Copies of this chain bind each other. A is one copy, B any other.
Amino acid sequence: MSILEKYRSTYVPELPYIFREFGARVGIIEDDATDTQDLEDLIRTSFTHTVNNPRVSFRKNNAPASKRLTVGVIFSGGQASGGHNVIAGLFDGLKSLNVENRLLGFRNGPDGLLSNDNFEITKEILTEYRNTGGFDLIGSGRTKLESHEQFDRVEASCRASGINAIVVIGGDDSNTNAGVLAEYFLAKNAGIQVVGCPKTIDGDLKNEWIEISFGFDTASKVFSGLIGNLCRDALSAKKYWHFVKLMGRSASHVTLECALQTHANISLISEEVSDKKQTLEEIVRYVSDIVAKRAANGMNYGIALIPEGLIEFIPEMKTLIAELNDLLAVNSELSDVLAAARTESDVTSTGLTAESAAAYFALPPSIRMQLVLDRDPHGNVQVSKIETENLLIQKVQEQLMRMEASGTYCGKFSGQNHFYGYEGRCAAPSNFDATYCYVLGFTGATLIGGGLTAYIASARNLSASVKDWEPLGIPIPSLMNVERRHGKNKPVIRKALVELDGAPFEYFAARRDRWAMEDHYCSPGGIQYFGNKEISDQTTITLGLENGCVIE
């Protein structure tokens, strides 16, 4: 245990008012029935047992101890700070329902649930994990629980271990599958509840009822701290352009939050690129123009933020990647042909369209190799391994050379590439995430105590002080839409992309031209766990703006 962890272990997250007196022994209030009219037919027919569940909130009620429960918990998918506190809140909540309740942790994610690999999480074990980062108490995994055969194995594990309820701590897909599993268990009258918990540093599991997913606050603070340091460095050395790629594959929330925190000169937002159908060339020109204008003012330095998934949102790149995936899935040897291709006709001979061949050749050779040679076991291009930050540095450099030749640029350009991702997933959770996660876990226990299934634990009013947070249970089907997956329509929880008419983006869009040309850098520093609450307890600017708070 580090010294920080030693001191953090004594941090006691607050609980909302509703849980303060009798813990999770509260009354369940069925709020207005969720409006299922807008839900697509496939959702209604897929979730006949759970689609009409109402949202629930809670009222103080010193209910008698619940019957004795045994609950299983898994992490599913990538790490996010605060996971251990979800487990701590769940544990404390369950104990407040009945001191004899037990919590079993399944090892390494869904696999542990399938193979019934679990151990009892005790107060003693938990002590050294409270308020720590990481998922290492029980581990995580990426196996998807989707098939009936898997569901039956999960049921068998639960029977073998006497489990009454499962808590799935995961992102949109994992919570979708938790909903499917809950429905399946109801249909076959298995008597096992399933409750979900919204986790993802990407921030794309949110909606009217879930204000934020846990881990987003901590990760965006870790990244913003580093970017703020780079801003100071750029301003001091005055000779580097730092291109920073930020984790967050499908949505640009992390990049947007970091932009709001640091006032970087350039921040690309994938959703805008997609909306405006910007080509790679247009993006390169946008960046190069800012570099050139700053150079004209004697400022040969700057900071550019790039969302990890950008390349997938550029129309011609999206098409190219889709074509490559189709092509290489069938004939993997074509990757070598493509790697060696020297002309566009070499490329079209493999079956790629002329448009995609042109898009392919617009990329620097090193990026082309990443596209065709680094593929996952299913033959898919590994988008997360494409060094988009280097791609942009190289393309901007080429564009600047053209501009120099035509007399529209005079300056020096030296690009430095960075990628921040893994280092933000397992930091010790910020005070916000430590508390939010604890409340989510506690709410999960409350939902289980109330006999509910197919619910996600949530809490609203998060911009207020913790005592006024409003814990909730949200029926999973109510969060779904229908998407095309592997050639089939599937009900899945709707992913929250950055809304271009939302308050955070509008705040950014109104300031970005000024941030591009003047240096309004802000260096928020690393996460502070102690000291004045103004420093240690504030959550993200994104959440503040979404909740109507006035920033600055």
A residues lining the B interface (CB < 8 Å): 1-5, 7-8, 75, 78-79, 108, 132-136, 139-140, 222, 225-226, 228-230, 232-233, 235-238, 240, 242, 366, 416, 418-419, 422-428, 522-532, 534-536, 538
Contacts and interface: CB of A to CB of B under 8 A. Distances in A.
Given A79-B236, A140-B236, A422-B230, A3 B427 contact: no
Contacts of A419: 418
A260 to B, nearest CB: 12
6 contacts: A133-B229, A229-B424, A418-B423, A427-B525, A526-B526, A530-B536
A550 to B, nearest CB: 15
Contacts of A229: 133, 222, 422-427
B526 A134 contact: no
A426 B538 contact: no
Give the top 3 A-B pairs by smallest Cβ distance, nearest first.
A526-B526, A530-B531, A134-B232
A72 B230 CA distance: 27
Given A134-B232, A523-B133, A531-B530, A240 B422 contact: yes
A416 B526 CA distance: 23
A7 B523 CA distance: 13
A233 B528 contact: no
B530 A135 contact: no
Q: Assembly of this chain: how many copies? A: 2
A226 B423 contact: yes
Nearest to A242: B422
B531 A2 contact: no
Contact of A136 (B133, B139, B236): B236
A108 B238 contact: yes
Given A79-B233, A229-B423, A366-B366, A523 B222 contact: no
A332 to B, nearest CB: 18
Given A133-B229, A140-B236, A426-B236, A527 B529 contact: no
A527 B524 contact: no
Nearest to A262: B2
Contacts of A422: 229-230, 233, 240, 242, 416, 418
A527 B528 CA distance: 8
Contacts of A525: 2, 4-5, 8, 427-428, 526-527, 529
Contact of A528 (B4, B226, B366, B532): B4
Contacts of A238: 108, 139
A235 B424 CA distance: 14
A283 to B, nearest CB: 24
Contacts of A236: 75, 79, 134-136, 139-140, 426
Nearest to A522: B2
A538 B3 contact: yes
Contacts of A524: 2-4
A424 B535 CA distance: 21
B4 A426 contact: no
A289 to B, nearest CB: 25
B230 A423 contact: yes
A365 to B, nearest CB: 10
Contacts of A75: 236
Contact of A529 (B5, B416, B528): B528
Nearest to A534: B3
Nearest to A75: B236
B531 A232 contact: no
Interface centre among A230, A366, A523 (most CB of B within 10 A): A523
A222 B232 CA distance: 15
Interface centre among A8, A226, A232, A425 (most CB of B within 10 A): A232
A422 to B, nearest CB: 5
A7 B79 CA distance: 31
Contacts of A139: 236, 238
A135 B222 CA distance: 22
Nearest to A228: B2
A4 B526 CA distance: 9
A133 B528 contact: no
A228 B416 CA distance: 24
A229 to B, nearest CB: 5
A530 B535 contact: yes
A425 B108 CA distance: 37
Nearest to A221: B526
Nearest to A366: B366
Contacts of A78: 237
Interface centre among A3, A230, A233 (most CB of B within 10 A): A233
A369 to B, nearest CB: 9
Contacts of A136: 232, 235-236
Interface centre among A2, A418, A425, A535 (most CB of B within 10 A): A2
A134 B8 CA distance: 29
Contacts of A134: 232-233, 235-236, 523
Contacts of A536: 530
